[in-house]
Chain A
Amino acid sequence: MNGTVNGNLNMIGYGLAAIGPGVGIGLIFAAYINGVARQPEARNVLQTIAILGFALAEALAIIGIGLAFALK
């Protein structure tokens, strides 16, 4: 069996690059859930901060997919 796999290696790179932001976003929302569970009245304040952290961590994954398509 001599199999051939077609496709772009960039996508494997993007998959690896998405691990970091994935873990990061998980940690951010875990902390957010923890915070709301301990102090439900802080929900509104925490929500803004959590989404901000999510956006900043996600930027890395987004740059990754951008470069995966841009670089040949």
Chain B
Amino acid sequence: MSYSLLAADGSGFTSPGPGDFEYPPLFGAGTFFTKPMLIIVLASLAVALFFYLAARRAVVVPGKLQFLGESVYGFVRNGIALDTMGRQGLKYAPYLTTLFAFIVTLNLSGIIPLLQFPATSRMAIPAFLAVISWVIFNSIGIKRHGFVGYFKAMMFPPGIPKLVYLILAPIEFASTIIIRPVTLAFRLTFNMFAGHLVLLLFILGGEYLVFHKGGIVGIGAGSVSLLGSIVLTFFEGFVQILQAYVFVLLTALYIGGALADEH
């Protein structure tokens, strides 16, 4: 008797895995343009068009679209830039807003019908965004404190016994230079990866149980699974927006940390 769930009892359900994140080229073999790339292009166009239309012909009493655009900008400006960096953070609000809108759009493509793939679950995209944020916060720090001063402020915070620096300095260096960008990229990638995997499991598993397994047990469990997938889709939407917020919040905090003077 086999205790394995569905995969091994010979009835043909293969549970979704990392292979479901590999897309073949859209226009036949030999071309390089895949579905995630299409989503990136669409998301870039959508974000650009949205902010262009929202900011065009700005009036004192905003219309619906202008209000929406201003809400997004105001949320990032007041809720993230001002809260974490104070008034000196206003300079970086446009970058943070663009980043937020872009990541939200890419994430939400995971639950938009027909697209239904979060492009940020491919490592390259969050990694590239994390590298951009890394370059920005480090260059801001170097510009503010000078090259030596920046690393001194990072690795040797004042008011600590001299001996502790032996441990603290390497940890602080590794944390700022290596761990920050890596976790920034990992967090976004694998949140989207895991979320998409769970949705795939619920929907494909439910479909298999209802239409292929059949019987009272199959249809009952499959229906529960399919209904659960609806709830999970909304939960996924929440996580996708939250993760975009977290990415931008951490970028803002890193920039704020690079800007901060020694206490």
Give me the interface of A with B, judged by CB distance under 8 Å.
Answer: 1, 3-7, 44-45, 48, 51-52, 54-55, 58-59, 62-63, 65-66, 69
Asked if B150 CB lies within 8 Å of chain A CBs, one says no
- Residue count of chain B within 8 Å CB distance of chain A: 24
Asked if B71 CB lies within 8 Å of chain A CBs, one says no
Q: Contact: A44 with B83, CB < 8 Å? A: yes
Contacts of A3 in B (CB 8 A): 1-3
Which DSSP category, helix, strand, loop or mixed, fits chain B's interface?
helix
Contacts of B1 in A (CB 8 A): 1, 3
Q: Of B8, B183, B242, B250, which contacts A63 at CB under 8 A?
A: B183
Contacts of A5 in B (CB 8 A): 3-4
Which parts of B1-37 form the interface with A (CB within 8 Å)? 1-4, 7-8, 18
Contacts of A51 in B (CB 8 A): 242, 245-246, 249
Asked if B201 CB lies within 8 Å of chain A CBs, one says no
Contacts of A55 in B (CB 8 A): 187, 246, 249-250
A48 to B142 CA separation, bound complex (whole angstroms): 27
Shortest beta-carbon distance, A37 to chain B, in Å? 21
Q: Contact: B249 with A48, CB < 8 Å? A: yes
Contacts of A65 in B (CB 8 A): 190, 193-194
**Closest chain A residue to B123, Cβ basis:** A66
